[in-house]
Chains A and B, each alone.
Chain A
Amino acid sequence: MFTPEELTTIALSVRVAALASLGALPLAVAVGWLLARRRFPGKALLDALVHLPLVLPPVVVGYALLAAFGSQGPAGRFLGQFGIELAFRWTGAALAAGIMGFPLMVRTIRLSIENVDRRLEQAAATLGASPWRRFFTITLPLAWPGLVAGAVLGFAKALGEFGATITFVSAIPGETRTLSSAIYGLMQVPGGEAAIWRLAAVAIAISLFALLASEWLVRRQRGPEDEP
C-alpha cells in the first residue's frame, strides 16, 4: 500500500513529533506552573516570549534556529564540541517542531494547573507537604488530563510543522523530510496525487488516533473518582 519511501517519511514524522512533544513537555510544565501559580517581575515578558512562536512567521523561527544552531552559530559550535549536530538532522527537525508547538502546550497546561483548587494545595501544606511534594502529589495528579492534552496538542502541531522545519533542516529524504515537506515536494511533481492522498490520509489518521487516545486517557483518569 505504501512505498518504502513513504513508510520512511511516516516513521520519521512520528519520531520527530514524539521527540518534539515529549522533549518539550517538562519545560512546558515548568513554565505553565510558573505562569499559573507565581507572580514575579517580568511575568508578562515571559508570557509574551512563550507566545512568540505562535505569531512569528515560521520561516523566521527556522532562520533564527539556523543562525543559532548552524555550524557557525553560537549554540551550534557549543554543541559541536560534544559531537551534537542539529542542523539538517532529524533531531533539529524535532527542535523546530517542539518550539512551534511549545506555546500551545504551555497554554493548555497552564489552564489545567489553574483549575487545580489551590485550597487543596493549602490543605496539603498544613499536613506537612513541602512545595515539591505538593506539586507531585496534589497539583500534578489533578492537572494530569490537561498535561496529556497539552502533549497531544504538541504532538499534532509537531506532526504538521512545515515552515520552521524546512528552513532549519531542509527536507532531506529519510532524515528531515517529514509528512508536510514530503507532500509539498510531491506537489511539484506531475502524477504525485495518489501519493499525496496516501500521506495526507496517514496524517489525518495519526492525528485522529492521538486525539481519541488522549480523550480515553483523560476519561480513564477521571473514571475511578466517579465510581460508587
Chain B
Amino acid sequence: MRRSLTSAALFVSLTGAAFAQGTQSFDRIERGRYLAILSDCAACHTAPGGAPYAGGLALQTPFGILVAPNITSDPDTGIGNMTNDEFLAVLHEGRGHNGKRLYPAMPYPAYTKMSDDDVLAMRSYFATVAPVSNRVVSNQLPFPLNIRLAMVFWNGLNFTSGRYQPNPQKSAEWNRGAYIVEGAAHCGTCHTPKTLLGGDKNNVALTGATLQGWFAPDITNDPRKGIGGWSKDDLVQYLKNGTNKWTLASGPMAEAVSHSTSHMTDDDIVAIATYLKDSGAAGAGSKPEPVAANNNAMRAGEAIYKDSCAACHRDSGEGEINLFPRLAGSALVQSDDPTTLARVVLHGTRAVSTPGAPTAPAMPAFDWRLDDAQVAAVLTYVRNAWGNAAVPVSADAVASQREALRKSP
C-alpha cells in the first residue's frame, strides 16, 4: 500500500498528471462507486442495453434533445484523459471538455454541493470503468439554443457554484440527508418547479414539476399535496423497496428507485427521510372545495370508476398495499397538475421491481376504452371523492395529453 502510494507520487511527478494521492486505493474507488449510485449517473450515461456509462441515451428536454456523453475511461471518446481539476469543474461549475459549458440536463446546479473529496472519489471510480469507444454528439438542441456560450447568461441567472454548508442547528443525520437530497441525488432536478428558462424556482423547492410527460409530485410536507401524510417509515419503505402503503413507484421514479435509492444504505435512506420530513411548507395552501358529488362529471366519473377501476382500487379508493395504489387521501391524486394521472390512465404504467418487492404489478392502459371526456370525468371523480379535493380535470387537458403521448409514448 505504502509502496503503491509512493510509486503513484513518482508517476505524478514524472508525467505531470494531476492524480491525487491514493486515487487507486480500493476504499476510495468503492466510495466513488457508491456516490455514483447516489448521483444516479447511470440513469443518463448508460443507454438501455448499452455498455455501462458509455453514453448515447437521448434526453427529451423541454428545449430539445441532448444526448448523454460517454464517461467511461476511454481516452478518446470518454473521459479517460480528463484531469482531476477538469472533473471537478464538470460537477461543480458545469464545464466539460476543454471548458465547454454544459447544459443543466447534467444537474451540476445540484452536484455543485458535493464536496471536493466526494467528487474526486467518483473520479477515481470512473477511472476504473471499462473503456468503451463510443463517440457521442451531445448537443442536438435546435438553433440558437445549441450555442453553448449562451449558458453564461443562464448560469448568471440560475446558478451559484458552492459546496453544501451544514446547518449547525440540525442533526448530523439531517445534514447528511440534506447533502444527499440537495446534492448527489439531485431530487430538485425533477421535483422543483422550473422557470421558463429551465432554472429552479428555489423559493418553492420540491413542490413538484413536469418533465418528459410526467408530473414529479410535491415532496414537501404539504399534508394534502405533498408527503405530509407519510410517516418517515413510509418514505424509507418507498425509497428502499419502491412501494409503501400509499403507492408504488413507476415511470421515471421507478428508474430512480431501481438504479439509485434501492441501493442506498439504510442509514442514508433514513437520513433522506429525516431531511424531507423536516422540509418545506407544512400546512401551506388552503384546501379547495371538493367538486360536489352530484356534479355531472362526478356522477359519470363514479360510474366509470365502478366499471373500470374499482376491481383493483376498490369502491373505497383504498387500493391494496404494495399492489394497487391508494387513491383516497393520495397527494399525487390531488396534485394541481394532473399530467401523471392522465398519463397513467391513458397509457398505463408498471411499478418498479426491487429485491424487497419484486412483484412489479402494472396498471393497464385505458386509452382504447375511455374517451377524453370519460377520462376527465373519472379523474375528476377520484380527485374529489373520499374526502379528496382538487381542481377538476378538463377533457381538453386529457386530449392534449393523449396527443403528446401519441407523439412520444
Report whether chain A binds chain B.
Answer: no
Which residues of A approach B to under 8 Å, CB–CB? none
B interface list, Cβ under 8 A from A: none
